[in-house]
Structure 1
Amino acid sequence: MGTSWWLACAAAFSVLCVLKASSLDTFLAAVYEHAVILPKDTLLPVSHSEALALMNQNLDLLEGAIVSAAKQGARIIVTPEDGIYGVRFTRDTIYPYLEDIPDPQVNWIPCDNPKRFGSTPVQERLSCLAKNNSIYVVANMGDKKPCNTSDSHCPPDGRFQYNTDVVFDSQGKLVARYHKQNIFMGEDQFNVPMEPEFVTFDTPFGKFGIFTCFDILFHDPAVTLVTEFQVDTILFPTAWMDVLPHLAAIEFHSAWAMGMGVNFLAANLHNPSKRMTGSGIYAPDSPRAFHYDRKTQEGKLLLAQLKSHPSHSPVNWTSYASSVESTPTQTQEFQSIVFFDEFTFVELKGIKGNYTVCQNDLCCHLSYQMSEKRADEVYAFGAFDGLHTVEGQYYLQICILLKCKTTNLRTCGSSVDTAFTRFEMFSLSGTFGTRYVFPEVLLSEVKLAPGEFQVSSDGRLVSLKPTSGPVLTVGLFGRLYGKDWASNASSDFIAHSLIIMLIVTPIIHYLC
């Protein structure tokens, strides 16, 4: 009996050691901002061989990043949306670039069995890159699924086409396939899945979820992956064009990570002429690595260490703001446009001060102190509580401190990426009607401020030290998902937004 007892203990200890060894507390993550090689503009589809030649050119560049990341010890690498074939397609011209991507439940390693599901050269190459370098590879490509045109849901050409993310594990196995739910305007080459897909997979270094670009602004699948599926890390291939002052890629993606309490791996395309840049590795407490570059044409590999299971403290976003007694503002309010939305602003008149500004149900409070009050720069503090209706419809509540483009107050809210005024301190809060609030701090030349601010449990965005650079934006970006399609979103309000869009600027600034 004694021998059996010792053998049982030894076996249990061995199992415990194996389990401990197979579970990692931290991991090295990688994202690659890719300067994609674009196809030639054409109204007619190219041949499959021509399409494959272009995709292999891009895969050659991605391979360099994947191999480099693996050699440095990365466990997973994310590459951008449209990173294999570029942008600017019609439904017909994208078709030669598509492959049939099976459900991961088929238990398939394309590198070992490339012909199992027909011609799948891109999946084969991605699988082999993952397997040969022992790294998880995340990529974006196009999926095609035949359908019967007698089905009312089937497109007239007899096929569904999806903007698709794929994940291959370190053995080369296909472990995830996600079809983008929230298609952005201009993506007419792709179909929308009939139901949102909530795609997750488990690894020795945490549970992962995945979605794409424009998905981040909506509840499904993005929020549900965190709140219901309890993922630790989000994978985010994107082709994001910056919209300053409050939707720059690194600004909003890092804010989403902090607001939702998850790791966030964002890989963007690199096309500076289109304001496409901004990738990062973000933890809930602070960015770990980020890249924003509008001066060069090269791609960029980022690596950073993350906790496999990050912790996150709950925030009551209205606790502090609702306790503040509003006093009549000493500064006259004015209206100005931020990305087609009409904000209510007050100008910051002094080197320090306290301001409250309200719009509809939202009241925003600010305490601040500048390092100096310059005559050649104007800062404003504003609030927006309403339905955004241009290039997508989504309900926002935003409190924002921003630098105006010029000293003319009508330019407050216009895109500006340089500033000269540093802040000694700031404290920002608002009476938000949602628990989904994303804290943003953006410095001059579109840089983040890691470790320089925090969110308190009572809902204040507060500085921890004087800012390391001049301030562009300090904001709280709230989303009221339940009001996106509310019946009280009047046609008059939408018409007013469209008039603003046409009068303020003829140029459409899109996200992704």
Structure 2
Amino acid sequence: MRKGETTEDKVFPVCKTRALDKYIAAVYEHVVVVPDVTLTPVTPAEALRMMNINLDIIEKAVKEAAKKNAQIIVTPEDGLHGWDFNRETIAPYTEDVPDPQVNWIPCKYPQRFGPAPIQERLSCMAKDNTIYVVANIVDRKTCNSSDPQCPSDGRYYYNTNVVFDSKGKLVARYYKYNLYTGEEHLNPPKEPEHITFDTPFGKFGIFTCWDVMFYDPAVILVNTLKVDTILYPTAWLNFLPHLTAIGINSAWAMGMGVNVLSSNIHNTSIGITGSGIYAPDKPREYYYNMETDEGKLLISELDVHPQPSASYSVVDWKLYASSIKDFSPATDVTSVVIYSDEFLFMELAEAEGNASICHGDLCCHLTYHMVEKRKDEVYALGVFNGLHVAEGQFYLQICTLVKCKTTNMTTCGRPVETSSTLFKEFSLSGTFDTNYVFPEVLCSGVHLAPEIFKVLKDGRLISQSRVSSKSLLTATLYGRWYEKDSVKQFPTLSQQQN
């Protein structure tokens, strides 16, 4: 037994009981109180005061979630300290987070690893409310010249997720691997981490924000380590039409066949919103609101062991599209750059018909029927097949039906949040070279509508009913061809198992 521990902190075998079939999850979209942007660092006391303001707000959400019988709550990336730092100004906001194997309950033994007031408070929130608490902080690790990768200031700073169980024990620590613009003051770990932990209500994996776009660690957690639920703190800046937080997270849950608990920052001034509790069959609760400055607590019941939706694991994503012989590829196309990717678009000039457009080996096919072809709204079929090079390199294959921002085709793919056109039916497919294809459908007002579409085993994304009551913004098959990413991002099977 370690110094400072009691027998109640040790784990003893107990009689097995019937495993839970369902559990209640919560995520909190948090309006972060951020420090003033300054080029000089504040004192540790001032940094702690600022973080405690955010912890006061988060603690109210934790208590409310616990009162509603939630067993786990996820809070957002950057939720305690905000952003806009450099190496010097982030320092007072950091703490040393030990390896969870040390078997530590900070709420009971706060001084065991030196001052750790943030971890102590998070631990007490979990313990006092009997709920798992997931939060994002910055871990500080000292290093010296014996480490050739040691930063010049002698410290590593890691974007870190921590998980405290319902007794306040630190059970997981994850370092974000795929850093985004604005995180130049932070360090990625030397190798991606694959962090999982078991609970009475399933096996959980965890990663952060931009990690979702890559094979490692995101896909490995599901395919190799077989987690049931992904915990996903994020500070996601929305990029319509294809990279909204709710769109990509719902699609990822469907495509990978797991639950996703996604907690985002709420800051409409910079376009950040979108949190949710997603199951493979449909989102259970989600929040996307650019009209208010209020956060939101979401709570919903989930299956402990979710079943993949529509048997996505057996979908042949190119079967139907490869069989098409009578669609003539577009000759009149418009090139539009969307988030650094050059898409090709063709206008849907008629109220109904067939359309095809190709980019290299990827051909996208669409059959559609609008209720009415409006003069003030233009829709287009688009394709992208290539290496995305902004914020990391990763290979995309995308077939998309979008509403253009104006009637000018050069505005196709620009952000647009409302539409009036109703579709009687649509069927979208493509000759994909990857099995990782994620179906995204957004309706007017940036709403998810899983009831209006389904995926067939032959790779078609089709409308569910003859006439939808929801106006369409976009219907997309978002493919990730991981094998064509860099070697670092796609390990061999033997590397995954080691």
Interval containing the TM-score (normalised by the shorter chain): over 0.9
Greater displacement, 274-283 / 414-423: 414-423
In the alignment, is the contact (CA less than 8 A) between 1:337 and 1:414 conserved in 2?
A: no
**How far does residue 485 in structure 1 lie from its aligned partner after superposition?**
3.1
SS at match of 2:54: helix
Q: SS at 2:332's partner residue?
A: coil
**Does the 8 Å contact 1:317/1:460 carry over to 2?**
yes
> What is the 5 A alignment of 1:493-508?
none
Q: Which amino acid aligns with 2:328?
A: P
Moved more, 247-256 or 476-485: 476-485
1:221 aligns with 2:217: yes
Does 2:353 correspond to 1:356? no
Give unpaired runs (5+ residues) of structure 1.
Answer: 1-16, 488-512
Partner of 1:478: 479
The 1-side partners of 2:305 and 2:487 are apart by 36
The letter of the residue matching 2:478 is F
C-alpha separation between the residues in 1 aligned to 2:227 and 2:266?
Answer: 28
- Tell me the residue number matched to 2:148: 152
C-alpha contact (below 8 Å) 1:38/1:85 kept by paired residues? yes
Q: Equivalents in 1 of 2:131, 2:323: separation in Å?
A: 50
Give the one of 106, 112, 118 matched to 1:110.
106
Q: Letter of the aligned partner of 2:480 in structure 1? A: R
Residue 453 of structure 1, CA deviation: 1.4
**Residue type of the partner of 2:102?**
V
Are residue 32 (structure 1) and residue 28 (structure 2) matched?
yes
Q: Which residue of 1 aligns with 2:133?
A: 137
Partner of 1:451: 451
Counterpart mapping for 1:418-457 below 5 A: 418-457=418-457
What is the distance in 2 between the residues matched to 1:468 and 1:199?
42
Is this contact kept in 1: 2:330–2:356, CA < 8 A? no
Could you tell me which residue of structure 2 aligns to residue 496 of structure 1? Answer: none
Quote how far apart the aligned CAs of 1:486 are.
Answer: 7.8
1:291 aligns with 2:292: no
How far apart in 2 are the matches of 1:482 and 1:364?
Answer: 21
Decide which of 269, 276, 282 is 2:278's aligned counterpart: 282
Distance in structure 2 (CA, Å) of the matches to 1:356 and 1:26: 44
Other structure's SS at 1:62 match:
helix
Match of 1:238 among 230, 234, 240: 234
Aligned residue in 1 for 2:338: 338
Deviations 1:422-456 (A, max 9, x none): 21211111111111111000011111103221112
CA shift at 1:95, angstroms? 0.7
2 CA distance for matches of 1:441 and 1:164?
32
* Partner deviation per Cα, 1:364-395 (whole Å, 9 max, x = no partner): 11111112110000000011101111232211
2:5 paired residue number? none
Contact 2:380–2:404 (8 Å) recurs in 1:
yes
What amino acid sits opposite 2:468 in the alignment? Answer: T
**Aligned amino acid, residue 473 of structure 2:** L
**C-alpha distance in structure 1 between counterparts of 2:333 and 2:135, whole Å:** 47
Q: Pick from 55, 60, 67 the counterpart of residue 59 of structure 1.
A: 55
Distance 1:119 1:199 in 2: 25
Bigger mean CA deviation after superposition, 329-338 or 343-352:
329-338
Aligned residues of 1:289 and 1:304 also touching (Cα < 8 A) = yes
More displaced 10-residue stretch of structure 1: 199-208 or 333-342: 333-342
> What aligned pairs does 1:458-473 form with structure 2 within 5 A after superposition?
458-465=458-465, 466-473=467-474
The alpha-carbon deviation at position 296 of structure 1 amounts to 0.9
Cα distance in 1 for partners of 2:193, 2:129 equals 29
Q: How many angstroms does 1:468 deviate by?
A: 3.4
Note the C-alpha offset of 1:277: 0.3
Query: Any idea what SS the aligned residue of 1:145 has?
Result: strand
SS of match in other structure, 2:151:
coil
Give the distance between the partners of 2:61 and 2:211, measured in 1 at CA: 26
Report the counterpart of residue 410 of structure 1 in structure 2: 410
Q: Distance in 1 between matches of 2:130 and 2:428?
A: 45
Q: How does 1:91-110 map to 2 (within 5 A)?
A: 91-110=87-106
The yes-or-no answer on 1:19 pairing with 2:16 is: yes
Deviates more, 1:228-237 or 1:318-327: 318-327
1:399-423, CA deviations, whole angstroms, 9 ceiling, x for partnerless residues? 0000000000111111111111121
Contact 1:339 1:413 in 2 (8 A): no
Distance 2:191 2:125 in 1: 31
Say which SS state the counterpart of residue 94 (structure 1) adopts.
Answer: helix
Deviations 1:47-82, CA, capped at 9 Å, x for gaps = 000000000000000001110001001111100000
Could you tell me how far 1:148 is from its partner in structure 2? 1.1
Distance 1:192 1:330 in 2: 44
2:320 and 2:330 map into 1 onto residues whose CA distance is 22
**Structural mapping, 1:194-205, within 5 Å:** 194-205=190-201
2:328 and 2:452 map into 1 onto residues whose CA distance is 31
Q: Which amino acid aligns with 2:460?
A: R
Q: 1:468 to 1:114 in 2, by over 3 A?
A: farther
Letter in 1 for 2:420: F
CA 1:293–1:45: 2 relative to 1, 3 Å: same
Task: Say which is worse superposed, 28-37 or 362-371, in terms of deviation.
Answer: 362-371
**Match for residue 508 of structure 1?**
none
Name which of structure 1's ranges 341-350 and 39-48 shifts more when overlaid on structure 2.
341-350
1:46-85 matches, within 5 Å, as 46-85=42-81
Shift of the 277–150 alpha-carbon distance from structure 1 to 2, 3 Å rule, reads same
Alignment partners' CA distance in 2, 1:400 and 1:286:
20
1:181 is the counterpart of 2:177: yes
Residues 329-338 or 277-286, more deviating: 329-338
Q: Is the 8 A contact 2:441 2:450 kept in 1?
A: no
CA contact (8 A) 2:328 2:355 kept: no
Give CA-to-partner distance per residue, 1:12-47, whole Å, 9 cap, x none.
Answer: xxxxx95344x2111111100000000011111100
Q: Quote the residue 2:302 is aligned against.
A: 306
Structure 1 moving runs of 4+ over 4 Å: none
Q: Distance in 2 between matches of 1:316 and 1:206?
A: 29
Shift of residue 329, structure 1, vs aligned partner: 4.2
Between the aligned partners of 1:337 and 1:375, the Cα distance in structure 2 is 25
**Could you state the TM-score of these two structures normalised by the residue count of structure 2?**
0.92
Counterpart CA distance in 1 for 2:15 and 2:177 is: 39
Separation in 2 of the partners of 1:346 and 1:50? 56
Q: Tell me the equivalent position of 2:327.
A: 327
For residue 321 of structure 1, give the secondary structure of its aligned residue in structure 2. helix
Amino-acid identity (%): 59
2:495 corresponds in structure 1 to none
**Which letter maps to 2:120?**
E
**Which digits, 9 at most, give the CA deviation of each residue in 1:446-467, with x for residues without a partner?**
1110322111222111111233
Q: What is the CA distance between 1:302 and its match in structure 2? A: 0.5
**1:128 is aligned to 2:98:** no
What is the letter of the counterpart of residue 471 of structure 1? Answer: L
Question: What is the DSSP-based 3-state SS (H/G/I as helix, E as strand, rest coil) of the residue aligned with 1:320?
Answer: helix
Q: 1:406 to 1:31 in 2, by over 3 A?
A: same
